Amino acid sequence: METVSTNQSFGGVQGVYRHASSATGTDMMFSVFVPPHEEGATLPVVWYLSGLTCTHANVTEKGEYRRLCSELGLIFVAPDTSPRGEGVADDPDGAYDFGLGAGFYVDATQEPYSRHYRMWSYVTQELPDIVADHFPVDRDRQSIMGHSMGGHGALTIGLAYPDRFKAISAFAPIVAPSQVPWGQKALDGYLGDDRAAWRKHDAVAMIEDGARCGALLVDQGSADNFLNDQLKPHLLAAACEAVGIDLTLHLQPGYDHSYYFISTFMADHLRWHAERL
């Protein structure tokens, strides 16, 4: 693991790191904030998954999480959203919603994407081991959150591993990718036309098929221009209500899809996670 940069912030250390990934077959970047702590202590970790077009840098630079992570004693980990580098397949038309920056947190089965696009394995298996080897994390106290495509990733990974992730939250998540254009394009491109495979990466479908968790927190801006066509939080609300999952869904008046929205409510989410960690 190569240290790209470290900076002191709120008594802790914000680092950016690079390593050769066996899951993706590429170099991968990620950021980790470690709050101040006593020597030898282990700390709970919050995983943050970013959205379309983003890298680890978006939340690292705009998320405004470090002050509260220092106060609450939370490690904050932010992976990239897709493999990158020479030879990594991209959208053939150069669109932003597929290919580079748009890994959708699945393990692709379709060529040419199956060679590198293995973000599910990277986020759930490889990177947690690397982080545990290099940082003072308590592997029994982990939670996960994300934004947009990363909200989709947080929901699906959290639902798939309810014993590992003690809390799950999201900002403006794609809750039912099988039912919206972004998700249909990505799932078809990465997984093919097998709709059964799609259901394993669709939070609403996973709940319908028996996945459960203790509680969910979702914040959604009412002025988000993707709300009605791509996000559809009412579908998650209906699925949770049908099976008794405790969903707290806040529709925040006037907020859009940007990091101005995320940074405004980041503290609420971190406190919610800390209570459960």
Question: Shortest CA distance to 174 belongs to which of 268, 47, 50?
Answer: 50
Question: Shortest CA distance to 214 belongs to which of 274, 270, 147, 163?
Answer: 163
Q: Which of 80, 202, 219, 224 is catalytic?
A: 224
Structure tokens at 166: 């003690």
Q: Which amino acid is at 51?
A: G
Strands 215-221 and 246-252: parallel
Active site residue 148: yes
Question: Shortest CA distance to 69 belongs to which of 22, 9, 128?
Answer: 9
Residue 105 CA to residue 103 CA, distance in Å, equals 5
Q: Which of 56, 147, 201, 257 is catalytic?
A: 257
Structure tokens at 88: 């990594």
Active site residue 224: yes
Q: Which of 147, 148, 201, 219 is catalytic?
A: 148
Torsion of CA 261, 128, 76, 73, to 10 degrees: 140
Active site residue 56: no
Structure tokens at 61: 């630079």
DSSP class of residue 184 equals H
Q: Catalytic positions, please?
A: 148, 224, 257
